Amino acid sequence: MIKKTSDIKEVIEKTASLARLSFESSGSSRFAEKVESVLSYVAQLNELDTSGIEPTSHAVLVGSGLREDKAHDSGAKDLILSAAPSRDGPFIQVPKVIEGE
């Protein structure tokens, strides 16, 4: 694990070189300080006891704003059946489209 600012700066400069990027004269030092700050924060998080906590994909519970998916009567059944050219009880009859044996 990288622990010192000089090590972080070295890794940043090597990565920048591989990516063909360059920093201003003090840019890599400022970036190294920011990376060190983030790594310090992550180290603090690693000290927390999370043994009884279930993994989650969200920090807060996220509920759906949509209604529950339930079938319901639209009330248009009789209107639709009355417009059908041919029907058999509660069903619309359609011509056969697949030839059978």
pLDDT per position as a tens digit, 43-73: 998 899 988 888 877 777 777 778 888 888 8
Residue type, 83: A
Backbone angles phi, psi at 90, to 5 degrees: -85, 15
Mean pLDDT, the chain, rounded, equals 83
Q: Domain 5-46, what fold?
A: Histone, subunit A (1.10.20)
Residue 2 pLDDT more than 60? no
pLDDT of residue 41: 92
pLDDT of residue 56: 77
Residue 101 pLDDT more than 70? no
At 18, the pLDDT band (50, 70, 90 cuts) reads: very high
d(CA 68, CA 64) in angstroms, rounded, equals: 9
How many other C-beta atoms lie within 10 A of the C-beta of residue 7?
13
